[in-house]
Amino acid sequence: MSLKVAKFGGSSVADAIQLAKVKKIVDHDPARRYVVVSAPGKRFDGDNKMTDLLYLCRTHIEHNVPYDQVFQVICDRFRAMELNLGVKVDLDSEFDTIRKNLDEGAGPDYIASRGEYLNALLTASYLGFDFVDTAGLVRFDEKGRLMDEETDKALREELEKHENAVLPGFYGTTPDGKVKTFSRGGSDITGSLVAKAVRADVYENWTDVPGFLVADPRIVNNPEPIETISYQELRELSYMGASVLHEDAIYPVRTVDIPINIRNTNDPQHPGTTIVSEASPKDGRIITGIAGSKGFTVVALYKNMMSSERGFVRRTLGIFEDLGIKFEHLPSGIDTLSIVISNKELGDRLPELLEEIERRMNPDSIEVSDDIALIATVGWGMARRTGVSARLFGALAEAEVNIRMIDQGSSEMNIIVGVHNKDFEKAIRAIYEAFQEN
């Protein structure tokens, strides 16, 4: 029989009503033997995520302000869930333990992790599954880096003992037994680790959207859904801002070739998006998706005979390394070199950077554009076809979008263009439409 790991995100487990949907989904398919849960997320616009409330307790403590009120809100919400689910978990003693640990100086990771922990206790009881804590199973080293092999082994050995189990996402422990969390949204990673450990046939990631869409629905009206996408294409799109899944969630399952199926808890019939190792695009599909974001700076250097000067690029990049500034892209020409940096990364350090470039590289000129948006058009289908870039650039020209930068990955799987921030939405719509008629 096939084996599935189902991870449910914050909105899917936000309250008893959502958890009833979860139970229906899990009960519907006995292959869904292992369930990973997030902490309860927002129930409505303007609601708080449990994880944020938990961090807030910790902030109160740091500022020597009583945290009782916030803690009460947290307790009330879990108690309401317990009541509405009709289960019995000894929440009071759990709350006492958490309070005690907090008063004794437990860190932010510990308090943040309690959302997943308590939610997993409730969900396990409601589904009639065993509760298996990820503390001690998901293992980090002293420096807080995930130990893949140890985690894989520990999870597998433990889960072999359980026919069905619910596990809390988001955290594990360091060798000294302290709780350590992944970055925000990290329950996706836990789900992936569990799927790998039990060698699941599929890792289902249940959320509140029907998978990935070809473009952002806030920009393009009613974009088509993406049925299948390769890990690599997804990586390119996520990097450019399409976020449904935590970026690091791909690696564990990818190493053992387990597909990830993004599903919608509120529309369980919808097949969602399946992420696979090799894309087999449906006939005629040229592009898989379009994503992008605003807020980049392009620093363009011009120097006559740059291409014949040995070490020019290396020395320029050395400046970035010395100043500790990351860059995103590096399109270059014969006598030009452009470096694309996100404004967030750059902060207020542009003058310092330019001064150093001027001093060490002595370019003929430097041009800076600080209002650039990047748009990636991604798809395996592009490599095998001629005329793709002509169509893309033609569409942008027709929409009167001025292209400030072009970068095509060597895999020919993506074309990145830089446009002015003000043209961002218009450019995405133009590209979407250009490839729509297929």
Among 8, 170, 312, 432, binds ligand ASP (CB under 6 A): 170
CB atoms within 10 A of CB 65: 11
The one segment of 178-186, 291-299, 322-330, 364-372 that binds ligand ASP by CB under 6 A: 178-186
Q: CB of residue 248 vs ligand ASP: minimum separation in angstroms?
A: 11
Give the C-alpha separation, 65 to 102, whole Å.
13
Among 51, 151, 230, 288, binds ligand ASP (CB under 6 A): 51
Contact 198, 2 (CB under 8 A): no
The owner of tokens 């914050």 is: 10
Cβ closer to ligand ASP: 184 or 360? 184
CB atoms within 10 A of CB 304: 11
Q: CB of residue 252 vs ligand ASP: minimum separation in angstroms?
A: 15
Which x/- pattern, by CB under 6 A, does the window 1-20 give for ligand ASP?
Answer: ---------x----------
The owner of tokens 């894989």 is: 152
The owner of tokens 């995100």 is: 9
316 binding ligand ASP? (CB under 6 A)? no
Q: CB of residue 109 vs ligand ASP: minimum separation in angstroms?
A: 11
Among 115, 259, 289, 381, binds ligand ASP (CB under 6 A): 115
**Closest by alpha carbon to 163, among 347, 31, 311?**
31
Question: Is residue 324 packed enough to be buried (19+ CB in 10 Å), middle (13-18) or exposed (0-12)?
Answer: exposed
The one segment of 26-34, 185-193, 264-272, 379-387 that binds ligand ASP by CB under 6 A: 185-193
Question: What pairs with residue 408 in β-bridges?
Answer: 415
272 binding ligand ASP? (CB under 6 A)? no
**Closest by alpha carbon to 211, among 256, 277, 249, 265?**
265
Cβ closer to ligand ASP: 193 or 417? 193
184 binding ligand ASP? (CB under 6 A)? yes
Give the C-alpha separation, 325 to 341, whole Å.
8
Among 134, 187, 205, 232, binds ligand ASP (CB under 6 A): 187
For ligand ASP, the binding residues in 20-39 under the rule CB under 6 A are 38-39
Question: Is residue 158 packed enough to be buried (19+ CB in 10 Å), middle (13-18) or exposed (0-12)?
Answer: middle
Binding site for ligand ASP (CB under 6 A): 10, 38-39, 49, 51, 115, 169-170, 184-188
